Amino acid sequence: MGRYAGILILGAVLLVGCTGQVFVPVLPVTPDDDIVNDQLRDQQFEYETYLPVAVSIGAVAATDGARALVADPETVIVEITDSAGHVMFAGAAWDGEAVAGELLLLPETEAITISLSAAGYETREIVVEDPTRYESIDRIHAMKAGGDIDPTPDDRDGDGIPDVYDSFPDDFRLAFVLEIPSDRSLTVAFEDNYPSLGDGDYNDFVGRYRITEYLSGRNEVVRLEGHVEALARGAGFNHEFGIVVRLPGYTGMTSVTVFDPDGVEVSSHEEVFEDVARLVIFEQTRNAFRRQYWFPHMDNARPELPPSEGFTADFAVTLDGKFTKPREVDRWAPFDPYLLVHDTGYDVHLIGQEPLPGSLNPEGLDGTLDENGYPRALLVPEDWLWPVDQEHIESCYPRFADWRETDGADSVDWYLDEPVGDVMPR
C-alpha cells in the first residue's frame, strides 16, 4: 500500500504547486484514495475550443485501518465517460501501475465519471465535476473486495483483458478502441491569407474529421484511422489540406483514400514515415468538391449559389511496433490539421502547432495568430455554422471578440450562440 493508505485528510484544503490556486477536492468514498497530484490548469486557455486533460489513474485495495484486507488488484479496467455515457478513455492499469492517457474536452463539459473494474472487486465510479479546470487528473483510487465480476473471467485471446471489457476478444494485438472526440466530429475552419488575417470569415477551407485509436491490452497505440469530409471553400487560393501526427522515435505506414460524393474511389496513396506522419488528405482543395457550376472558389460559402458536394477521405496510420502515449499533455489530440497555401507557400495551423518542415512562413512570425490576436484556424464542434463569404466572424458570433481579447478565458462557448449575422445554412 505504501503512500496510498491514509494520505487524504477529509475536508482538507490542498494547494496545487505550479498554479498557486486553492481548491477543495471532491469527498472520496474511501480515505485510501490519493488525489493530491491533480494539477489545475493555468487560467491562460490560449483560445482552445477543445481542452486536453492528461489522466493517470491507478488502483489499490482498500484497507481496514493500516491493514490491507486483500491483495491489490492485478489488472484494473479504467473507463472515463461523459454525462451522456460516451466513452472518452479506456485502458488497463497493470500490477499496481497507473494507466495514462489524455481526454479531449469541450470547455462546457460539466462532469466526467471515472469507472474502475477488476475481477474480485466492487466496481467504483468517481464523478469529477468541472474537469476542464484540470491540466492533469493524477490519482490512485481504492477498491473493495467483492462484487459480481467473476474472479477468473474468460479471456479467449490471452491478452490479460477479460472478454467482457475487450473490444477484440479474439485478437491478442487489440483490446480497446477510442473515438476522438467521443461523441461527434471536429470541424476545422481556416483563414489562408497568412501573414495577414484576410476578411476573417473563416471559410477559406472548412473540413470535418474524426479519428479512431486502436490500442493493445497494454494501452499501446497500434493503429489510427480517420474519416474526413470537405465542407466548404470560399477562397481564391488553392491549398493542400492534411493532418500531421507526431510519433517521435517510430516508423510506419500511412494511407489515404479519397472518394467522390457518390462514394467512388478517385485516388489512393501510401507512404512510409519516420517520427512524423504527414497525411495529405486533399492535395488540391479546389478539386475536393463537385459543383453545379464553374465557380471553383465559392463552395458552400454563398447561400445564393447552388450547394457543392464535398469529397471524403479515409486514412490510416499503422505503426511498426506499438506506441505508448506520453503521460504529459503534448497535444496528441486533436493532432495537427493544416492548410498549405499553394499560391504563397505558407502553411497555417491551429494555435500552438509548428510550421511544416521546410515551411516558407516568414521567420519570426507566429503562424497561428495574427497581430490582433485572431487565430488563423479554429477547431469547433461539428454542428457549427460558418460565416458566408466576406462576413467577419464577430458579426455572426459577437462573443468571439470576448474570447479573442481575453486569450480564451471568457466566452469559451461562443460557438454555441445562435448566430446573428449571415452564416451558411446546413
Dist CA 374 CA 201 (whole Å) = 11
- Backbone φ/ψ region at 347: left (φ over 0), alpha (ψ -120 to 50), beta: beta
Asked if the structure places residue 399 within a domain, the reply is yes
Domain boundary among 125, 146, 172: 172
Q: Which amino acid is at 236?
A: G
| Total number of domains in the chain | 2
CATH of the domain at 162: 2.60.40.10
Q: Are residues 200 and 138 in the same domain?
A: no
Can you give the pLDDT at residue 7? 27
Q: What is the pLDDT of residue 328?
A: 42
179: three-class secondary structure by DSSP: strand
User: Is position 220 within any domain?
Assistant: yes
pLDDT at 148: 63
Amino acid, res. 224: L
Query: For position 366, what pLDDT does the model report?
Result: 64
Q: pLDDT tens digits for the chain (426 residues)?
A: 333 333 222 222 222 333 333 333 444 446 688 887 899 987 655 556 778 888 999 999 888 765 656 778 889 999 999 988 989 999 999 988 899 888 888 888 899 999 999 988 899 999 999 998 998 999 999 998 887 666 677 899 999 898 989 999 999 999 999 888 777 788 999 999 988 888 899 999 999 999 999 999 998 888 999 999 999 999 999 999 999 998 888 899 999 999 999 999 999 999 999 989 999 999 999 999 999 887 777 999 999 999 999 999 999 999 887 666 554 434 456 689 999 999 999 999 988 888 998 899 887 666 677 878 888 999 888 789 999 999 999 999 999 999 888 877 788 889 989 999 899 987
Residue 409 lies in domain: 184-416
Q: What is the pLDDT of residue 31?
A: 67
| Judgement on whether residues 114 and 229 belong to the same structural domain of the protein | no
CB 22 within 8 A of CB 13: yes
- The answer to whether residue 42 is domain-embedded is yes
Residue 69 and residue 28 in one domain:
yes
- Specify if 177 maps to a domain: no
Q: What is the pLDDT at residue 367?
A: 66
**Is 421 a member of any domain?**
no
Q: Which cell numbers hold the place of 320?
A: 511498426
Statement to judge: residues 331 and 211 lie in one domain: yes
Q: Which amino acid is at 97?
A: E
Q: Are 217 and 166 in contact (CB under 8 A)?
A: yes
Yes or no: say if 116 and 59 are a contact pair by the CB < 8 Å rule: yes
How would you classify residue 120: left for phi > 0, otherwise alpha for psi between -120 and 50, otherwise beta?
left
154 lies in the same domain as 227? no
Calpha distance 36→60 (Å, rounded): 15
Do 13 and 129 lie in one domain? The reply is: yes
Last residue of a domain, one of 120, 144, 172: 172
**Omega before residue 195 within 30° of 0, cis:** yes
Q: Please state, in angstroms and rounded to a whole number, the distance separating the CA atoms of residues 380 and 394.
A: 15
Q: What is the pLDDT of residue 66?
A: 58
Give the pLDDT confidence score for residue 408 in this predicted structure. Answer: 78
Per the rule left: phi > 0, alpha: psi between -120 and 50, beta: everything else, 114 is beta
Are both 279 and 198 inside the same structural domain? yes
- Domain end position, chosen among 114, 140, 172: 172
Of 6, 20, 221, 182, nearest in space to 103 by CA: 182
Please check whether residue 230 lies inside any domain of the structure. yes
pTM of the model: 0.84
Q: Kindly state whether residue 365 falls inside one of the protein's structural domains.
A: yes
Residues 68 and 190 in one domain: no
Q: 2: helix, coil or strand?
A: helix
392/244 same-domain check = yes
User: For cell 501573414, what's the residue?
Assistant: 195
- Examine the domain organization and report whether 92 and 214 are in the same domain: no
Instruction: Compute the half-sphere exposure of residue 239: CA atoms within 13 Å on the CB side of its CA.
Output: 32
Structural domain contains residue 423: no
Judge if 196 and 330 occupy the same domain: yes
Q: Same structural domain for residues 285 and 369?
A: yes
